[in-house]
Chains A and B, each alone.
Chain A
Amino acid sequence: MDPARALATRFRLVQHPDLRILTFDGESLVFNPRLWHTHFLNASAGLILECLGEAPASAAELAALLVDEAGRPALPPDQIATALAELAGLRLIEPDDAAAAA
């Protein structure tokens, strides 16, 4: 998925009983059961994954959620869309079917 399409898509975390996510000091480790591989994610990607674990969201919605201490956006939507495209490529997230159906 390219970032432009990711920008316009609502994503959710994949549902799999063997998916694992651990965060230590801002760095996230993810066991990806579909690729049978462990990923080491930077802070931004880890936060995005954490947010999508709470509820499906689009890049714009994530940008509103991911704010710094002063309430300013921590990441611009296009940067979030790039991360979303990469996470989708790793099959850790997927388009939210409920949103697509609506």
Chain B
Amino acid sequence: MKLGELPVGEVERLLRREGLGLAFGPARVRLRSEVGALAPALQRVYAAYPVEAPGGFYDVSARLAPAGGLRRFVRPQVSFWLDGESPFEPFPADTHLPLVEWGVNWAIAMRLNQHLLLHAGVVERGGRAVLLPALPASGKSTLTAALASRGYRLLSDEFGVVRLGDALLLPMPRPVALKNESIAIIRAFAPGAVIGPEFPKTRKGTVAHLAPDAASVAARHTPAAPALIVFPKYTPGIGVEVEPAPKARAFAQLSVNAFNYELLGPAGFDAVGAIVSRCGCYQLRFGDLDAAIEQIGRLLG
């Protein structure tokens, strides 16, 4: 059964007891929570995900719990626990979903080292994947969300998961974290998009999560071949500008922004080299989402 089809009380029960199992493509995750408000938020942004049968191996087993001490009474906080350890400072209790998303991202980045993990949005159309690697505040998430709302399959907003050996991209279609003005931009750009609750005053400002569409979730075990690398940069006031990126520079940008390139050594080098060899590489400055999407479509062919 899909998470969105379960009664919220059952989701709360799962979170409090045996845990809620979700398979994000290459990562199997179990979530537990003593924070009741997390259940409806998770249901909204992971609605299309089948609930995994309990048991078996989990790549990430995480728990959200109220922080102890006097914080229980004044401005309550919640802590993210990972296999009995709490790697972060507690967050305000009303930012439960962002904490879960960041915590799970962190755990995946630390643990999924059987794959190369690029820091990139990834979408796919016609079997050809577009990698959108970028630094924070480049408009990566906004552009990824916009592409996903215009018929592209969402593979990920955060991780370009590259399978070592064949350099295919493995999907991990989790909610797209929209921040600040991007939330209103995507609401206006895709009025039918399902966006979870807004969480103001997080460490990154206001955050809301765009739910992955059902088709992307259903195809989360189907890899895609990399075809295009686009380094986006949101630039207000322009439509769209594109220029080829030299491949050696593209290699450098991909590897520097990867989560585990250094750790993987020659295997990481081979994977980045295979992707760059196969892909057209471009720098894209954009101020207009429709123009950017049209340009990416032309580049993809």
Contact = CB atoms under 8 A, between A and B. Distances in A.
Interface of A: 18, 20, 22, 24-25, 27-29, 31, 33, 36, 38, 40
Contact of B251 (A24, A33, A36): A24
A28 B247 CA distance: 10
Contacts of B270: 20
A22 B249 CA distance: 12
Contact of A31 (B248, B266, B277): B266
A91 B249 CA distance: 23
B215 interface: no
B197 interface: no
B273 interface: yes
Nearest to A20: B269
Given A20-B273, A22-B251, A40-B252, A27 B266 contact: no
B248 A20 contact: no
Contacts of A38: 255, 269
Given A33-B265, A33-B266, A38-B255, A25 B246 contact: yes
Contact of B248 (A18, A29, A33, A36): A29
B48 interface: no
B276 interface: yes
Nearest to B270: A20
Contacts of A25: 246-248
A33 B269 CA distance: 11
Categorize the interface residue count of chain B: 10 to 19
A95 to B, nearest CB: 24
B262 interface: yes
Given A27-B246, A38-B255, A22 B273 contact: yes
A24 B269 contact: no
A33 B265 CA distance: 8
A18 B276 CA distance: 19
A27 B255 contact: no
Contacts of A27: 246-249
Contacts of A24: 246-248, 251, 276-277
Interface string B247-270: 111011001000000100110011
Residue among B247, B262, B276 with the most chain A CB within 10 A?
Answer: B247
Given A24-B251, A24-B276, A29-B251, A18 B266 contact: yes
A40 B248 contact: yes
Nearest to A31: B269
Given A24-B277, A36-B265, A40-B252, 6 more contacts: A20-B266, A20-B269, A20-B273, A22-B251, A24-B251, A29-B252
Nearest to A22: B273
Q: Which of A20, A25, A36 has the most CB of B within 10 A?
A: A20
What 7 A-B pairs have minimum CB-CB distances, sorted nearest first? Answer: A27-B248, A24-B247, A31-B269, A18-B266, A24-B248, A22-B273, A20-B269
Contacts of A18: 265-266
Nearest to B250: A24
9 contacts: A20-B270, A22-B277, A24-B247, A25-B248, A29-B252, A29-B269, A29-B273, A36-B262, A38-B255
A29 B270 CA distance: 11
A20 B255 CA distance: 15
A15 to B, nearest CB: 14
A27 B248 CA distance: 6
Contacts of B252: 29, 40
